[in-house]
Amino acid sequence: MAMAPNATSASDGLNWNLVLGIGVILMLLSIFAFPTLMVVGIGFLPTLVAYICDRTEQKFATFCVGGMNLCGVFPYVVHLWTDDHSVPAATEVISDVFSLFVMYAAAGFGWMMFLAIPPVISSFLQVLAQSRVKTLRTLQRDIVEEWGPEVSVATDDDDGISPPA
């Protein structure tokens, strides 16, 4: 009885339903689609790594790598499904350097996207913000020109904001 609270707190971070669901799926896949499971298991290793490395709540890196990783893995999975869904065929795919390269290169491209796109977006947003600030400053200058500097004084007193230059 004394262990019960500790056991509860240790299991706080895990979603046991999800784990159970994944376990059931994996078990079913290993019974009915083991070759697919082999290819997917090996092919999605970069995504697993990204998932482990990505400590953010939103898991953007995982999605980014995972999406592109899917692009690299999915053709081979489809090939298995349409050609020969057997363990030797799956072994052939995962032992082929080229197919592994395609899968991992796609994941690598996803990682590159994850690294390259944010600065571009950030710069773009920065330009937009500056443009807005400029518009607002112009508006403030017009107001002061029409109503005198006192129009901003009361605000300054209240909020400690300096009048616009």
Partner 1 sequence: MGADLPGGLVPPEMESSEGVEAETDAGTAPPDTEERSTPILGGGGPVLLRDRFLVDTGKPLPELDCPSAKAYAVEDRRDLSRHLYGLVCTPGLPIRIDAIRAIKDLDIRGILPLVDWDAVTWPPLGQKAMVVIFQRPMGGRVADRMARKEVKITEYDMPRRVIEPITEGLQAINNLDAPHRAIRPDNIYFLDEDMTDVVLGPFVVAPPGYDQAVLMEPIERAMAMPAGRGKGNSRDDIFAIGVTMVLLLLGYNPVGKIKDEDLIHARIEQGSYTAICGTARIPMQMIEPLRGMLADDPTERWDFNEMTNWLSGQKINPIKKRPIDKAENPFTFRGRKHLTARSIAHHFCKHPSDAVRAASSDEFQDWVKRGLDKGTISDAIKGAVQASKFHEEGHQGSDDFLVARISTILDPKAPVRYKGLSFAPDGYGPVLAVQWVRNGDPQAAAEVLAHEVSALWFTAQPRLHRELAELQKNLAQLRGLLSIQDPGYGLERVLYESNPSMACQSPFVIKDCVSTIEQLLPALDAASNSGDTSTHPMDRHVSAFIAARFGEDIHPHLRALASSRAETSIVGMLSLLAFLQWKLRTPAVLGLSSWVGGLLGPAINAYHNRQTRQELERDIPRLVRKGSLPELFNLVDDAEKRREDSEGFETAQAEWLSAEEEIRDIEGAGEERLTKAERSGQQAAAMISITIALTVVSVILLIETL
Considering only residues 63, 92, 102, 104, which one is a binding residue for partner 1 as defined by CB under 8 A? 63
Q: Which amino acid is at 92?
A: E
> SS3 letters for 45-104?
HHHHHHHHHCCCCCCHHHHHHHHHHHHHHHHHHHHHHHCCCCHHHHHHHHHCHHHHHHHH
Sole residue written with tokens 């363990």: 87
Considering only residues 1, 82, 88, 165, which one is a binding residue for partner 1 as defined by CB under 8 A? 82
Tell the smallest beta-carbon distance from residue 82 to partner 1 (Å): 6
61 binds partner 1 (CB under 8 A): yes
Tell me 44's DSSP state. Answer: T
Considering only residues 40, 42, 65, 103, which one is a binding residue for partner 1 as defined by CB under 8 A? 65
Displacement of CA 161 from its chain's centroid (Å): 39
Full DSSP string of 119-140: HHHHHHHHHHHHHHHHHHHHHH
Q: Which of residues 107-146 bind partner 1 (CB under 8 A)?
A: 110, 113-114, 116-122, 125-126, 129, 132-133, 136-137, 139-140, 143-146
151 binds partner 1 (CB under 8 A): yes
40 binds partner 1 (CB under 8 A): no
Binding site for partner 1 (CB under 8 A): 58, 60-61, 63-68, 70-71, 74-75, 78, 82, 110, 113-114, 116-122, 125-126, 129, 132-133, 136-137, 139-140, 143-148, 150-152, 154-155, 159, 161
